[in-house]
Structure 1
Amino acid sequence: MTVNDVLTVHGGTPLHGQIRVRGAKNLVSKAMVAALLGDAPSRLYDVPRIRDVEVVRGLLELHGVKVSDGAEDGELVFDPANVESASTDEINVHAGSSRIPILFCGPLLHRLGHAFIPDLGGCHIGPRPIDFHIQALREFGAVVDKAPDGMHLTAPNGLHGTKLELPFPSVGATEQVLLTAVMAEGVTELRNAAVEPEIVDLICVLQKMGAIIKVHTDRVIEIQGVPRLSGYSHRPIPDRIEAASWAAAALATGGDIEVIGAEQVDMMTFLNVFRSVGGAYEVIDARPAAGQEGKIRFWHPGGELRAVAIETDVHPGFMTDWQQPLVVALTQARGLSIVHETVYEQRLGYTEALNTMGATIQVYRDCLGGTPCRFGRRNFKHSAVIAGPSKLHAADLVIPDLRAGFSHLIAALAAEGTSRVYGVDLINRGYEDFEAKLAALGAHAERS
């Protein structure tokens, strides 16, 4: 954190205006990795200018992929003609900055026969073990040697299809299997796979490259390995997490925000909860013939917000990345709201900061809900009860992770007085030009 990594926020002003979301962060970075598998250039459109994209671009370039800006704003072109090994020292420059490097394993093993993965970073929201990633790669035929600086992988006999079942529908593990299986010899069957919209969009990318992937019912994905893949041209689905974050900001501040690019189909679960709380929205479908994008307008219609009970879950459930921004709005709802976090065990730590601002939030180790939970008996505080409405007041806040950071920012915008938010550069990992968007919405905020 630097002295310039501080945002001074003058709260109490409703946000009004229009902003645009680009391609989903959770798809764009994976599609960039997929370009490694092709024997021809790939084009990816609507790429957001965020830190995670910079990290993946740097890693691709280290491995000989030529990455260039296309003619269209937000377009990237990847030429994988000269994929090569990178030194461990160069790769380690990125150690701790992102968890994406683990997904380079399969593509690099296919292209080079070996791979090196540094220590992994990412948001501190609870351990996200890579054990299954490693076990899956071994099932495909990889040899994994752990070293102090990371992991060295080889595939002396190539990679071969296999049968796998996830203990939990992990997005990262599903991505790992997809990126490895598409060029592994034979058929791979993955059971209990994640089926998030970003996973389906990644499958679309791989299918454009020549992959043969069948998505069956009951979370079963079958991949027929092919000997070669070409490039792709793809416009990703919009970022449903960012869209929901701005929707929560509109609700918490009593504002009215139109989110260009937001799509109803992948936000249906969020929209149901948003309406149940008392928020209002209008879906405006795209009109391609007139050159108009789709959008969703979110606003606070006046009156009191209503308490709700939320349980996060894998898709099509309520997304874990949606709960943190929405909880800020729930501090303004009358009654007791309940949040049962079933995906990440340490994702409620941000509520301490909200309590210092005047919120009344209690966290519990018990499962306050009926959704199957991964860690309810492992002594993690993963359920919260929010009593409201609470009048929020300004405070000094330190951002712990990406999504919590945006919730802190929303709280500062909703609170009376002037807050200082430290560590705001972390928000750049997933929210493009968020300071410019705040200005466009009439927020009073500036770098200290």
Structure 2
Amino acid sequence: MTDDVLLVHGGTPLEGEIHVRGAKNLVPKAMVAALLGSGPSRLRNVPDIRDVRVVRGLLQLHGVTVRSGDEPGELVLDPSHVESANVADIDAHAGSSRIPILFCGPLLHRLGHAFIPGLGGCDIGGRPIDFHFDVLRRFGAVIEKRPEGQYLEAPHRLRGTKIELPYPSVGATEQVLLTAVLADGVTELRNAAVEPEIVDLICVLQKMGAIIAMDTDRVIRITGVDALDGYTHRALPDRLESASWACAALATQGNVYVRGARQLEMMTFLNVFRKVGGAFEVDDDGIRFWHPGRPLNAIALETDVHPGFQTDWQQPLVVALTQASGLSIVHETVYESRLGFTSALNQMGAHIQVYRECLGGTPCRFGQRNFLHSAVVSGPTKLEGADLVIPDLRGGFSYLIAALAAQGTSQVHGIDLINRGYENFMHKLRALGAQVELPNSRAGVKQAAPVAG
């Protein structure tokens, strides 16, 4: 097991090439979709990350055979013998992930019942699961709260329904898709999320035999079918990881080629990256990101659901903005607690002030709710090494970027959390020339407990 503390000796530009595989926000969901098929599915471009291992374990608990395919990063999933799983085993596997909530629809279709324990995930703001259960009730599921979790039953075949989301939630949209495809009748979902990973999941389901239409204005219509087959699919690349490495190149004044990065899903990020002063070059195999040597520009930025600037891009970019000249304004509109990571950057020498007011162009749903969801970043500032405790997945990688850009040595605690979404990140750091080391039993370095992902 990887030690949970990393020593980072900063001040060295990242230079070289790394490879990004399939999206963390698609691959585990595509694995869950395999439960719906009558035959085996073949998923390619799968990253070796913790969320994939969690879902693999949960699928195997439910009788799905999961094995490696013929090429690296390929999984073959055979759901021919789906069965109920032991409650304690489910709880042991699921405690570190929120993905088990997406097992509900497929298991209700396959077994007529499902069990969901308490869920984990990154602590970046409210991510209530109640709406998932409300959606499942709309399809006809009966839900009973028990001490160990939620027990769900489908006394009859689930039926299509009309749903309008109060906010275009990715998780809620995935729940509807995975449940509606085998439900009786038509499901109409309004105000749906339309992220590239959602579209790729729809492609997976269509390959299986689903009938799904994406209309304008965030409307998705699903016509239920009686049965689905397996699929063969290559997952789209992880645009969020690609952007993280781009920000690392910018913050460290480096030059990083991200093999596997794709322009189409990153167009909004690339525009902002260029406005800040970063340079990039796109070719058929990936994107090269580098610092051109000129002072970086301060910008005004608001996060939003796709096609806006993704919230998962915000934290890595904020680190780069500490090196930009002037005042940058960041308005976080997706997760109300995502700017908490900035306090550690201030300890390293950054000048970041957070505010409860909406500092963006338009008020958002957090504006009157007393959340620190806007930030002003004053730069450039020199960063100094520090002791850092990782708060969440993207914030954790952002701390790594800050430590790499800083002068001196940082101790980064809780790095196991980064394994949730960044494949082989230690190997990639070293391939780019980063000066990092695992202290093992080095005296004086506190070994932090693994953080629930």
> TM tier, shorter chain?
over 0.9
Partner Cα distance (2:304, 2:167) in 1: 11
Partner of 1:219: 218
Q: How does 1:127-206 map to 2 (within 5 A)?
A: 127-206=126-205
TM-score under structure 1 length normalisation: 0.97
Higher mean C-alpha deviation, range 420-429 or range 368-377? 368-377
Partner Cα distance (2:434, 2:242) in 1: 17
Q: How does 1:280-359 map to 2 (within 5 A)?
A: 280-285=279-284, 294-359=285-350
Partner Cα distance (2:306, 2:126) in 1: 20
Partner of 2:381: 390
Partner Cα distance (1:125, 1:7) in 2: 23
Higher mean C-alpha deviation, range 413-422 or range 93-102? 93-102
1:445 to 428, 433, 436: 436
Indicate if the aligned counterparts of 2:187 and 2:222 stay in contact, CA closer than 8 A.
yes
Partner Cα distance (2:254, 2:65) in 1: 44
Partner Cα distance (1:349, 1:144) in 2: 35
Give 2:291's aligned amino acid. H
Partner Cα distance (1:372, 1:262) in 2: 33
Partner of 1:23: 22
Partner Cα distance (1:296, 1:47) in 2: 20
1:413 aligns with 2:412: no
Partner Cα distance (1:193, 1:7) in 2: 40
Q: Give secondary structure in 2 for the equivalent of 1:362.
A: strand
Deviation at 1:372, TM superposition (A): 4.9
Partner of 2:57: 58
Residue-pair matches, total: 439
Partner Cα distance (2:362, 2:38) in 1: 44
Deviation at 1:3, TM superposition (A): 9.7
Give 1:155's aligned amino acid. A
Partner Cα distance (1:220, 1:40) in 2: 30
Partner of 1:252: 251
1:108 aligns with 2:107: yes
User: For each residue in 1:307-337, what CA deviation from the matched residue of structure 2 results, as whole angstroms up to 9, or x when unmatched?
Assistant: 0011000000000000000000000000000
Deviation at 1:91, TM superposition (A): 0.5
Deviation at 1:95, TM superposition (A): 3.7
Deviation at 1:371, TM superposition (A): 4.0
Indicate if the aligned counterparts of 2:54 and 2:94 stay in contact, CA closer than 8 A.
no
Give 1:82's aligned amino acid. H
Deviation at 1:149, TM superposition (A): 1.2
RMSD: 0.9
Indicate if the aligned counterparts of 2:187 and 2:223 stay in contact, CA closer than 8 A.
yes
Indicate if the aligned counterparts of 1:245 and 1:325 stay in contact, CA closer than 8 A.
yes
TM-score under structure 2 length normalisation: 0.96
Q: How does 1:232-251 map to 2 (within 5 A)?
A: 232-251=231-250
Give 1:171's aligned amino acid. V
Give 2:25's aligned amino acid. N
Q: Give secondary structure in 2 for the equivalent of 1:119.
A: coil
1:91 aligns with 2:82: no
Give 2:292's aligned amino acid. P
Partner of 1:378: 369
Q: Give secondary structure in 1 for the equivalent of 2:137.
A: helix
